[in-house]
């Protein structure tokens, strides 16, 4: 009986995911497995990443951590004597457990490989000798992560929860004066934010990098990054928060 129940739940989750595209506004926390480099990357070149934690969906199903995202470099301009570099890209396909989803997504935040590394270490030296479930780390953007299923806090305000399986769940928020939004299209469920704060927005750990076009407007889904001077070098292991604009189940 127990086996039948488990199989029924698995079939329901699979069917639910197949019938319902990823809801608009869903955050996809992505760890890059490709590099984006304005001196070396070429237009048309494939780029790849993977989901850094499970992404829960309103249907009750989830997109599993490790699911692969595939995209491409759209255009590249290396830095010149009088101009910084420019690089545009898009992620348009998600592969998850035998299913393929076509999607369009914009970029909310991007963090360097070193920022990703630092966000996974406890804030104080003595904590490094304690179990990870007892650590306190700082999310990219400044919130405190009390590991082991405890809260994520912004000052004295609880904004989310850490997960024993890794990552965090929190509702998005927006900081006045920034271009980033909170929830959209009524999608106010908790989001998988991995190592990022609930109000994380823009670039972290890059000296001159700027998100010139997040992909929310035409050309929708195409992200444009610029550097005030010098070239763009985003290494494998860097992290992103993508937000789904639309999606279609392919198979």
Cβ atoms < 10 Å from Cβ of 29: 25
HEC per residue, 163-186: CCCCCEEECCCCCCCCCCCCCCCC
pLDDT score for 12: 42
pLDDT score for 20: 53
Give the pairing of strands 86-96 and 239-249.
unpaired
Q: How many domains does the chain have?
A: 1
Q: Which two tokens stand for residue 185?
A: 């299209």
pLDDT score for 127: 57
pLDDT score for 61: 86
pLDDT score for 175: 73
Give the pairing of strands 27-32 and 239-249.
antiparallel
Residues of the chain with pLDDT under 50: 4-17
pLDDT score for 8: 45
Q: Which domain covers residue 189, as residue numbers?
A: 2-249
pLDDT score for 165: 82
Model pTM?
0.87
């Amino acid at each position: 009986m127990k086996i039948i129940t488990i199989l029924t739940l698995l079939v329901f989750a699979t069917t639910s995911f197949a019938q319902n595209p990823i809801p608009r506004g869903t955050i996809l926390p992505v760890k890059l497995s490709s590099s984006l480099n304005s001196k070396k990357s070429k237009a048309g070149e494939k780029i790849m990443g993977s989901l850094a934690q499970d992404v829960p969906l309103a249907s009750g199903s989830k997109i599993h951590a490790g699911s692969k995202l595939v995209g491409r470099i759209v255009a590249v301009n290396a830095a010149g004597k009088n101009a910084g570099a420019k690089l545009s890209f898009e992620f348009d396909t998600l592969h998850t457990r035998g299913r393929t989803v076509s999607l369009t997504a914009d970029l909310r935040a991007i963090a360097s490989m070193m920022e990703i590394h630092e966000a996974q270490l406890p804030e104080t030296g003595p904590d490094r000798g304690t179990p990870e479930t007892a650590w306190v780390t700082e999310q990219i953007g400044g919130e405190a992560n009390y590991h082991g299923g405890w809260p994520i806090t912004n000052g004295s305000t609880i904004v989310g929860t850490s997960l024993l399986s890794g990552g965090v769940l929190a509702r998005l928020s927006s900081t006045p004066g920034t271009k980033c939004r909170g929830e959209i299209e009524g999608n106010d469920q908790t989001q998988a934010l991995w190592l990022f704060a609930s109000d994380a927005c823009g670039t972290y750990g890059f000296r001159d990098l700027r998100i010139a076009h997040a992909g929310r407007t035409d050309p929708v889904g195409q992200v444009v990054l610029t550097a005030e001077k010098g070239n763009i070098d985003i290494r494998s292991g860097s992290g992103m928060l993508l937000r789904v604009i639309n999606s279609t189940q392919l198979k």
